[in-house]
Structure 1
Amino acid sequence: WQQTLMNNGDLFVPDDPGSYIIQFQPDGTAFIQSDCNQVRAGYTVDSNLLTIEPGPSTLVACPEGSLGDRFVMGLTAANSFFFDDAGDLLIDLKFDSGTMRFSPQSNDLAGSNWIVTGFNNGREAVVSTITDTELTANFGTDGRVTGTGGCNNYNAGFTVDGGNITIEQGMSSMMFCEQPEGVMDQEQQFLAALASAATYQITGNTMQMRTADDALAATFMRAPASAEAPADAMATEEPAPSGTAEPTAEPTAEPTTSPTGEPTEEPSPSPTDEG
C-alpha cells in the first residue's frame, strides 16, 4: 500500500508500505497484512467492480500511529479497480470518496533481511526461539546469507531457482554463550534447519522454508526497514562449520507467527498481490 488520497484532500501514507498488503487468491479469498495484524477476507470481481469483505482478524495492539484500521476500512469501501501505466493497482472507494494506490510486491529473496520466528529442532517439532534471543538471516545480493544464531555469527552461500533454494554448509564464529540456557543447542538446531531448506515461500512480511520432504524447516518475519544487516556478519574468531544435523520429520506444531495459509498463483483478471 503506497497511499490513500481522499477527495477532501486528506492523504494517508504508511511509514512502511510492506506492512500493509493485500494478496488476492483465485478462489475468491484474500490475505490482508494490516500493520501488525493479519486479516482473512473474501472478494468478488465483476468486470472492473471490486468488493472486499474482511473476515477473521488477529487482534494485536499495533504501535501508536498505525494506519492498520484505516487500511482495512479503506479496503472495505472498495468499489472498482484499474491499473495505471506504471503497473500500480488503484482501488477507487465508494461514493467517489478517494483512491488507494498499491504497488506490486517484490518477493525477491536477495537483498532481504529476516528475523527467525521458529525452526525445526530435528525432533519432530517446530519451536519458537528462546526468550531474549534473536536469530537472523540476511540474504545478500552477493549470494551470501549472514546473520546470528543467537550466540555466534554465521556466513554461508545460497542459490535460488524460482521457489527452490540451496544453502551451503557455512562457517560460524566460535564463541560459547552460557546464557540464556539452551542458546547453544538452539543455534546448532537452527543452523541445521537452515541448511536443510529446499524451498521457500514469501507471503507478505513472513517467509517459510521447507525441506525436500516438505517438512517445515524455519519460519521468518521480515526485519524492520530500520534494522540494517551488519557489513560483516563474521566475528574475528576462527570459523568452524555450522551444525551438521538435519531435521527430516514433519513438524507437529508451528509457531503462531507463521501464516495460516499459503498463496497460490495470481488470479486473473483480478488484482494481483499488492503492497
Structure 2
Amino acid sequence: MPTKTTTQTKQTKQQPTKQPHRTRAAAALAPLLALALGACGTQSGDGSGAGDGSASVRPDVPLTGVHWAVESVTADGKKTAAPAGANVEIDAKGRAQGNFGCNHFSAKADVQGDQVTLSDATMTEMGCPEPLQGFEDALRSALTGKLTAKLTDGTLTLTSAGGDTIRLSEQPPAPLQGTTWKVNSLVSGKTATSLPAGTEGKASMVFGKDGFVRGNLGCNQFSAPVTVEGSTLTFGRITSTRKLCAGPQMELERALTAAMQGKATYTVDHRTLTITAPGGTGFAAGADAKAGGAK
C-alpha cells in the first residue's frame, strides 16, 4: 500500500507541465462542442458531437420544443415509411403530443439522460384505412415505454427496449399563405372525425398572397377570394368546376364549402391548419411535407 502511494505521487510530480496543457485544450474545445450540438447537426462540419447518443438529450440539444416529423418505423426488422403528418413533439413540462399517421395522441414524457420514457398515452379514435392503420399500429407500439435517444446529423432516432426504431427529423412551422394544406379530418367543436371513406388525400388548398384560396374540394377544383385579419378568414363567393362526384366526395365537398361561407376562425398550430365556422363545424388540414423548407 505505501509503495503504490509513493508511485502515484511520483507520477504526479513527473507531469506538471502536461496537465495545464490538457486543461487549456479542454476549455477551448468546450464552447466548440456546445456550438456544434446547438446546431443540431445541420452543418456537416467535422461530425464532432452530433453523433454522440449520450449527448442527444442534453439541454443544449433541442430534443424538447421541436416538431419532429416521423420518417419511418422499423419493427420486427421491417422498415415502413411514414405517411405525411406523422409527428412527435415533447415539451419542457413533460408532455408528448403528435400524430400517429391518422389519429392524434398525447402522453406523459420523462427525459432522463439519453432515456425518454412515454406513458399514459391517449388518442383520438378515428377509423383509419390501410395502410395508415398498419403504420399507426406499428408507431404506437414502438413509441411506448423507455426509449433510447440518439441525434445524428440532424436526425433523431428513438430505439425501444425490444429493438424497434423510430427515425425522425426536425420540421419548421408552416405559414398560412403559400402552403399546400391537405385536408385530413372534419371537426365539430373539439371532436375530430375521419373523412368520408374513399376521400382521404383528395382535398387540398393553397392560400395565395393575391387574396385568393384555390384547391380541390375532394372532386371539383375551386377558388374563392379571402381576406385574413387576425384569426379571422372572410371568404367571398366560391366558384368551382361542376363534375359529377360520388356520394362520399360530395359529402366532403359540402362540409368544406359550409366551413368557407363568410367569416370563419382559423388557427395554425405549427403544421396543422384548423378552420371553424361560427356554428363550430369545420375541418383540419396538414401542411405538405415541403412546406416551410421541410425536408
With the length of structure 1 as denominator, give the TM-score of the two structures: 0.53
Q: Greater shift after overlay, 53-62 or 152-161?
A: 152-161
- The answer to whether the 8 A contact 2:259-2:275 is kept is no
CA distance in 2, matches of 1:146, 1:32: 28
Out of 4, 26, 44, the residue aligned to residue 110 of structure 2 is: 44
1:101 is aligned to 167
SS in 1 for 2:181: strand
1:257 is aligned to none
1:154 equivalent in alignment to 2:222 = yes
2:205 is aligned to 138
1:114 equivalent in alignment to 2:175 = no
Could you give the per-residue CA deviations for residues 178-231 of structure 1, whole angstroms, max 9, x where no partner exists? x98999986764331xx4235322476x532357x9x85622244999xxxxxx
Out of 17, 22, 25, the residue aligned to residue 88 of structure 2 is: 22
Could you give the per-residue CA deviations for residues 116-172 of structure 1, whole angstroms, max 9, x where no partner exists? 75478xxx9x998997997944115665421356897532355779x8564553552
- The answer to whether the 8 A contact 2:181-2:273 is kept is no
Q: How many aligned positions are there? A: 212
CA distance in 2, matches of 1:137, 1:173: 14
The alignment's C-alpha RMSD in Å is 5.0
- The answer to whether the 8 A contact 2:107-2:122 is kept is yes
1:219 is aligned to 283
In our comparison, the structure showing a higher alpha carbon Rg is: 2
Unaligned runs of 5+ in 1: 226-273
- Shift of residue 74, structure 1, vs aligned partner: 1.5
Unaligned runs of 5+ in 2: 1-69
Q: 1:23 to 1:165 in 2, by over 3 A?
A: farther
CA distance in 2, matches of 1:130, 1:84: 37
Correspondence 1:227-238 to 2 at 5 A: none
CA distance in 2, matches of 1:128, 1:62: 13
1:190 is aligned to 259
Could you give the per-residue CA deviations for residues 225-259 of structure 1, whole angstroms, max 9, x where no partner exists? 9xxxxxxxxxxxxxxxxxxxxxxxxxxxxxxxxxx
- The answer to whether the 8 A contact 2:226-2:236 is kept is no
Structure number with greater CO (CA < 8 Å, separation at least 6) is: 1
1:235 is aligned to none
With the length of structure 2 as denominator, give the TM-score of the two structures: 0.50
